[in-house]
Structure 1
Amino acid sequence: MAKEKDDIEFENIDGIQVPKTTKLERESPGRTLAKTISWRIVASITTFIIFYLSAGQKVALQVITAAIGIEVVAKMLIYYIHERAWAHIHWGRYWYKNKMVRRIKLYYIRKRRNKLKSL
């Protein structure tokens, strides 16, 4: 059995190396937190610019600074919870990469075996 860089075990089926294991790829809470903070910075700057240009300079600096202070904390918390909830939803994710590769390879192996049997 050969091993790759990621220490994935393979089995040899009809001369084809097929992964034995499935590699589970999920987002860590730390990554979600980093995404939350970076997105909140971008969104808050955007909000500040929009209100600053539309409301005027004197009103904007006082009101928007207070609003953004509240907005940053509230929206970061909501976004973090939202991201963690989506981390547990499997729909639309391709995190069984090796399993899919194995299925595809096994499909072609079976197809080849059936073809050889019919000869």
Structure 2
Amino acid sequence: MILNQIIFSKKAQSRGFEEDKTSEKPLRSVVKALSWRAIGTLDTLVVSYFLTGEITLAASIASVDFVTKLVLYFFHERIWNKIKWGK
């Protein structure tokens, strides 16, 4: 899906179509999601460790949290990118 968007946008540009300047590229959304999740995961790790006192359990919680929220954030960003309101 992401790869298709990247390939399609490059093909459209090579045929002379103008690039959409108001939309973020999927790769930018991925990088933003990764950087935000790194911060969020550190927070989850610290809070989980504080509550459980066990680093392995805290790391497990933080790992699951990282993956699920990364995916949710990516799709959240892509949906909001399609909404014209506020642009």
Q: What TM-score does the superposition give when structure 1 sets the normalisation length?
A: 0.53
Select the structure of larger CA radius of gyration.
1
CA distance in 2: counterparts of 1:62 and 1:34, whole angstroms? 27
Secondary structure of the equivalent of 1:91?
coil
1:79 pairs with one of 55, 73, 81: 73
For structure 1, the residue ranges without an aligned partner over 5 or more in a row are 1-22, 94-119
> Which residue number corresponds to residue 105 of structure 1?
none
Calculate the aligned-residue CA RMSD, in Å.
Answer: 1.5
CA distance in 2: counterparts of 1:24 and 1:63, whole angstroms? 44
Shift of 1:52: 2.1
For structure 2, the residue ranges without an aligned partner over 5 or more in a row are 1-19
Secondary structure of the equivalent of 1:26?
coil
Instruction: Name whichever structure is richer in helix by fraction.
Output: 2
Q: 1:73-93: per-residue Cα shift (whole Å, max 9, x none)?
A: 111001101000000001011
> Which residue number corresponds to residue 52 of structure 1?
49
Verify: 1:33 aligned to 2:27, yes or no: no
Verify: 1:88 aligned to 2:77, yes or no: no
CA distance in 2: counterparts of 1:53 and 1:64, whole angstroms? 9
Bigger relative contact order, structure 1 or 2, given CA contacts below 8 A and separation 6+?
1
Identity over aligned pairs, percent: 29
Secondary structure of the equivalent of 1:31?
helix
Q: 1:30-67: per-residue Cα shift (whole Å, max 9, x none)?
A: 100000000000000011112223332xx2x1211111
Residues 44 and 61 in structure 2, CA contact (< 8 A), matched pair in contact too: no
CA distance in 1: counterparts of 2:30 and 2:73, whole angstroms? 9
Secondary structure of the equivalent of 2:21?
coil
